[in-house]
Amino acid sequence: MKNLIFTTLLALSLSMIGAAQTPIGEMQFTEGAVQHIVRSADIEWRPCPPNMPSGCEIVVLEGNPQGSGMFTIRFRVTEPFFMPAHAHPKDERVTVIKGKAYVAFGIESTKEDAQVFVTGDYYVNAREAVHKVWADPSTIIQLTGIGPWEANFVEVEKGSNSKN
């Protein structure tokens, strides 16, 4: 009987611990808040992290890309942009807000192999799918995913015919 009571209390305690944490994909609103709003006029672009190619800026709209929950970020390209072969450990949801982006899959892929995405287009890159991205200047791409977000660059062997 004591074991049954202990087991029941332990199960109840563990379920309450899980309930105290915000489930992945749910916002934590302050008391009385009913929306999380980011106005385009209020966006403060920052340089992309140093492991990203030059020519881009970033803003976090929701969540924390380095945390474990859902996040939404935007990238703004300020010059012709190329992101070499890389993959992500989780699915990556992408919306082209403005401009044009090109996505090709595989280490040996070229821009000529790429699918073209324009303003309003949406796509999902599967986890661990090696891909390359090119973007025209002034392109804005919105990315939503479950963190932590990582871009794991793939080494291209010397002598390979892989092209930007």
Q: What is the end-to-end Cα distance of the chain in Å, rounded? A: 69
pLDDT interval class at 16 (50, 70, 90): very low
Write down the pLDDT at residue 3.
Answer: 47
DSSP 67-114: SSSEEEEEEEESS-EEEEEEE-SS-EEEEEEESEEEEEESTT--GGGP
Q: Does 36 map to a domain?
A: no
Give the total number of structural domains in the chain.
1
Say if 29 falls within a structural domain. no
Range of the domain at 132: 44-153
Report the CATH number that the domain containing residue 138 is assigned in CATH.
2.60.120.10
Tell me the pTM.
0.78
Using 50, 70 and 90 to split pLDDT, how confident is the model at 22? low
The pLDDT assigned to 96 comes to: 98
pLDDT at 34: 86
pLDDT tens sequence across 85-129 = 999 999 999 999 999 999 999 999 999 999 999 999 999 999 999
Considering the domain boundaries, does residue 158 fall inside one?
no
**For the chain, percent of residues with pLDDT exceeding 70:** 80
Measured between alpha carbons, how far is 79 from 26 in angstroms, rounded to an integer?
35
The tens digit of pLDDT for each residue in 65-83 reads 999 989 999 999 999 999 9
21: pLDDT confidence band, cut at 50, 70 and 90? low
Tell me whether residue 163 is in a domain: no
